[in-house]
Structure 1
């Protein structure tokens, strides 16, 4: 799938996601904070652009929203230094990491991977991207409203692992390529989606995105 940066289509490569990157969110789910970034992947087929319906998977009765700052890598590399990391960013977006929480809980109890809980079709909602120079990832604010009610309010200054640290870490362990996306973690306030819900996401400087859950 392609995403859009400044009105131009961009091909997506790997979709990286960071878990437990806000202490309050880890606490609300009873999870420990990890000593290094907790990384998982989503398939490209999970990406859902603005305007398409969110279709909840029929094998879950507890799909949660997680609003996140999303990073688009413009120039890849290995062993990127933190001091140079932000130069590798092409743009930023706002997105949703959807999670089948009941399925994830069962997988964790059995010591199994989370892919079924995190990688279903439409589980990675993402807005259009704005050029990197428009956003300061070290002080980015974002919000999620559902049916007009504020549900999440994020501030990247509260990230346990800032964007530059995440980029450096991913480049050292996995290597990064142009077109990689990074979902950087969600703040507290996650909860279940319901059929018909209307979601509006906002990132500073006027980047807005909305989705509706299929009835």
Structure 2
């Protein structure tokens, strides 16, 4: 099932994609009898996280590309909710940076509160998955020596276009196209830490709230974006997150 969130009279409304239509979800997230053309709705980020927890390195090929050792445990950082950007939205190029990078990622969307979850129980707390772009001001990241400012500008967390609840994260193709040219292409089978481990690991540190997201790291091939560029994160089985840089 593909769940979208869209703008309706200035408020976020959820719906279920049914071909070219969206079935509006009513009270209690129950499907209603009302449908709208998918082409006519304005997408919002598909969830409203209290936090986005991100994994700094989680593809073996990316570690090799950077000549880095495979980490023994996940390295975590966070993005604020104010950095959210919808599919179809504009990634703003801040004046403070001259080196803005894309990073295609699979995002886990939490469905039920999770704290100290064993790995074997992690799947019970996952609502589904969506596409993410971990936009990064690479020059600021290098100058600061830590990642908060470089990762946290407004619009630096594009998510979407939907939450796919029936998705196998073990071996899905993930790619990124910049102006139609493929720049990243890999599979989640290259993960260092699988999804269940990440949910369990993060939940040992902080309570995960419904709607929170965990970004699972980026494959090799990260690189710069310029104003006017069109960037697409394409994950097999979920869809395409598309944004322009402005």
Q: Deviations over 1:46-78 (max 9, x none)?
A: 011012111111111111100000110001221
Q: Secondary structure of 2:185's match?
A: strand
Task: Work out the CA distance in 1 between the residues paired with 2:158 and 2:238.
Answer: 18
Deviation at 1:154, TM superposition (A): 2.6
Per-residue deviation, residues 164-190 of structure 1 (Å, max 9, x unmatched): 100000111112111111111000000
TM (norm. structure 2) is 0.79
Q: Please, which runs of 5 or more residues in structure 2 have no aligned partner?
A: 6-13, 17-24, 26-45
Distance 2:160 2:140 in 1: 26
Task: For residue 96 of structure 1, report the CA deviation from its aligned partner.
Answer: 0.2
Q: Distance in 1 between matches of 2:239 and 2:15?
A: 12
Match of 2:156 in 1: 123
Alignment partner for residue 176 of structure 2, among 133, 144, 152? 144
**Residue 173 of structure 1 corresponds to which residue in structure 2?**
205
State the number of aligned residues.
207
- 1:192 and 2:224 equivalent? yes
- TM-score, normalised to structure 1, is 0.90
- CA distance in 1 between partners of 2:69 and 2:79 (Å): 22
Residues 102 and 10 of structure 1, relative CA distance in 2, 3 Å threshold: closer
Moved more, 93-102 or 5-14: 5-14
Moved over 2 A (4+): 3-11, 26-34, 128-132
Structure with bigger RCO (C-alpha 8 Å, 6+ apart): 1
Structure 1 gaps of 5+ residues are: none
Structure with higher Rg: it is 2
Tell whether 2:237 aligns with 1:205: yes
Aligned: 1:44 with 2:81: yes
